[in-house]
Amino acid sequence: MAKTSYLSELPFTVPQLIAQKRDGLAIDADHLRSFVNAYVAEEVTDYQMAAFAMATYFQGMRPAETAALTLAMRDSGRVIDLSGVEGIKVDKHSTGGVGDKVSICLAPIVAACGVPVPMISGRGLGHTGGTLDKLEAIEGFRVDGSVKRFRKQLSKIGCSLFGQTGEIAPADRKLYALRDVTATVESIPLITASILSKKLAEGIDALVLDVKVGRGAFMKDQESARALAKSIVRVGKLAGKKVTAFLTRMDAPLGNTIGNAIETAEAFDVLHGEGPEDLIECTTLLAEEMLRLGGVAKTAAQARKLVQEAIASGAAVEKMQQIVAAQGGDPKVVAKPSKLIRGGTKRVPVLAAKSGFVGDIDALALGYVGVKIGAGRTRSDQSVDPDVGIVLKAKPGDAVEEGQPLAELIVRKKKHAAAVMDETVNAFTLSARKPKESPLRLETIRR
């Protein structure tokens, strides 16, 4: 029997559908679903989808329309059924930033408190790092696997840290690549559908969103970050999920490390009750909300107490050891994070040219320095070096003397450090006066 064409479900042609969006008209949910399915089935061409994306970029979408696009993209592949896993399933998503290793310490803390965390993460691209690359710095750790394995591990341990499979939201994978080369990445409805289609396909009940704001973030200003956060919260709730969004500052890198092995080690430090203050603050903020949405705490104060107990008792470390062992890695590195730091590299100090206070650190500039020394990638098919990176020796507000280290470059060869030395020095702004302390959390959006 011949396969039915998805386009036959439309009462008009694809150019007519594109024209509707071009003219600012809303597209019916059923028509969007047929259009998306036809695109995955290659009945709609890339150039037609590119025209639709550009029309959406300029005309936007109504909330119900964005929700319909999101669900159509979710349903373009497999939706994981987690009904057999007890508890309210809660995930977290970050829009990405430099030094953002929060997922690695957040997931085991929340799981140790009794909330299941089904987390499907991505790889780094451009100046931002990726959770999967950082986890793979653990020797033997596997982020690939079947949906069956993902679900079984979640049921048994309470947390799965995997990468997106070909079964999950294939429409998003195709459209994401197309948006990247057609200057339509910044469209709020398309970003919303991209993020939520993958998260909803995980089978979650609730989501906590961390929208980074600033130079080192995708969203450079608070107004656009707020618009994205409101869109995701609104559409997530239209899809029947509990969603909270936080806007957090990303002008300077988060934590003291930029790289893969060193960021994973720093995340493990948090599980031991150590680590930099800003990383602990961000992790705790998101954990509190995940526990509240997960139904194990009614207030932020109750949730904070659970987080502190999970760390103090060693339950968070034990949970991460279970996750690492289940996914093929050596759980001993969780107990001793320094085991992640292997040899074969050289450490080159970056010295202050004058005395003063660190007023600012350009996260975007340091993110690209990390890429240049091998810690990141500019194309999705590139590999990363897990052992190289940047260690910050001073953060905004710290006093430094001339000749004192501002940072340390971890490189394979000293010439690699020399090639980025000026960029690294220039990323630090020194001033005569101590700058005012800026809050990490800028806004909370729940409705």
pLDDT at 181: 84
Q: Do domains 90-338 and 342-431 have the same CATH topology?
A: no
**Homologous superfamily of 6-60:** Transferase, Pyrimidine Nucleoside Phosphorylase; Chain C (1.20.970.10)
Active-site residue, 198 included? yes
The residue annotated as part of the active site, out of 21, 33, 134, 198, is 198
- CA 136 to CA 155: how far, in whole Å? 23
pLDDT at 126: 66
* Ramachandran class of 384: left when φ > 0, alpha when ψ lies in -120 to 50, beta otherwise: beta
Active-site residue, 123 included? no
- The distance in angstroms from the start CA to the end CA of the chain is 48
Q: Return the CATH number of 342-431, one of 3.30.230.20, 3.30.43.10, 3.90.79.10, 3.90.1170.30.
A: 3.90.1170.30
- CA 317 to CA 329: how far, in whole Å? 14
Contact 44, 178 (CB under 8 A): no
Contact 195, 235 (CB under 8 A): no
The residue annotated as part of the active site, out of 91, 100, 133, 172, is 172
The residue annotated as part of the active site, out of 76, 94, 160, 194, is 194
- 195: burial class by Cβ within 10 Å (0-12, 13-18, 19+)? buried
Contact 47, 54 (CB under 8 A): no
Active-site residue, 93 included? yes
Closest residue by Cα to residue 34 from 167, 168, 166, 171: 171
If the chain, 447 residues long, is cut into consecutive pieces of 10 residues, what is the mean pLDDT of each piece?
A: 77 96 96 97 96 97 96 95 95 93 97 96 76 94 91 96 87 88 90 94 95 90 95 95 97 96 98 97 98 97 98 98 97 96 94 96 95 85 90 97 97 97 97 93 93
Fold topology of 90-338: Pyrimidine Nucleoside Phosphorylase; Chain A, domain 2 (3.40.1030)
Spell out the residues 6+ positions from residue 257 whose beta carbon is closer than 8 angstroms to its own. Answer: 99, 101, 263, 265, 266, 389, 390, 391, 392
The residue annotated as part of the active site, out of 89, 93, 292, 319, is 93
Domain residue extents for the chain: 6-60, 90-338, 342-431
- CA 110 to CA 107: how far, in whole Å? 5
- CA 208 to CA 106: how far, in whole Å? 11
Active-site residue, 179 included? yes
- CA 311 to CA 193: how far, in whole Å? 35
The residue annotated as part of the active site, out of 89, 101, 134, 179, is 179
pLDDT at 3: 60
Active-site residue, 187 included? no
Q: Which residue in this structure is represented by tokens 């119900």? A: 64
- CA 120 to CA 58: how far, in whole Å? 31
pLDDT at 166: 79
Torsion of CA 207, 242, 209, 166, to 10 degrees: 40
pLDDT at 1: 43
Q: What is the pTM of this model?
A: 0.93
